[in-house]
Amino acid sequence: MDFSSIDFRLHAVQRMYERGITTVDVKEVMKNGKIIEQYLDDKPFPSYLISGFINEKSLHIVVAIDNKTKKAIIITVYEPDPKLWQAGFEKRR
């Protein structure tokens, strides 16, 4: 995923704080994670669900990309629920 900078929405920062997830964790998943869902019709920008692992902990990041400025906008970050996701956390049950 190509982006020039990362902007964290307030909601994402609040959830990261509550869940003990750092900006370093998010940047690592953004760099090395896998896009598992695309929401190309989202407004004002298309968004994506990225899955990755930090120290064996699975993380999902919802990010919108402003294609004009190449800015990544972090919407939310969470640990996926194993009841809702198959092993590997890349496919919904």
Map tokens 């598992």 to a residue: 36
Confidence of residue 66 (pLDDT cuts 50, 70, 90): very high
Both tokens of residue 70? 């190449």
Percent of the chain at pLDDT exceeding 70: 99
Q: pTM for the full model?
A: 0.93
- Whether 82 shows a pLDDT value over 90: the answer reads yes
**Which pLDDT score is estimated for 2?**
73
29-47: average pLDDT: 96
How many other C-beta atoms are found inside a 10 Å radius of the C-beta of residue 50? 24
13-21: average pLDDT: 96
**Which pLDDT score is estimated for 44?**
95
